[in-house]
Amino acid sequence: MASDWFDRITVVVGVIMLNVMLVVGLLQVLNRYIDLPASLPWTYEVARTTLAMLSIIAIPYLFKNDADISFLPVLRRVTSRTDQLLLVRNVLMAFFSVVLVWSAYLAAQTAGDTGLPLISWFKVGWGYLLFGAASAALFVVVLTDTKQRVGDIIGGT
């Protein structure tokens, strides 16, 4: 059950962000060929920032669903003892996610209230905090995966 709500929230946020990118991209293209009454220099920055945020949010989701870019398909063909080998990956990912959370915290402190150039109300520190939250979610997902793998190894499945 816990995985269902995580998947649903991640998918809903992803779909919303994809739609924002679609609308903003459509505005960019229309603005090139049709003279719209309003100037839209901010569309590029919104599309780029939304894509970056979507990529960051997707990291825990992809790891949880074994859809991350990794050596899993090759590893599954080479050996049947993937759980033991993936424990090493999980330890490294846990360490990496803790470093990312710490880095995001320090970067958010450094960024302060600096806004994006064309979207001044969106503060750069918010992006760093989002990155830290996604990294913290990745840490939780890695711990959950590690617990399940250790249980499978001990249980003999």
Domain boundaries, the chain: 2-155
Work out the pLDDT band at 1, boundaries 50, 70, 90.
Answer: very low
Amino acid letter for position 154: I
pLDDT greater than 80 at residue 132: yes
Q: Greater confidence, 21 or 84?
A: 21
Whole-angstrom CA distances from 20 to 77, 78, 122, 134 are 40, 42, 15, 20
Taking the whole predicted model, whether its pTM rises above 0.75 is answered as no
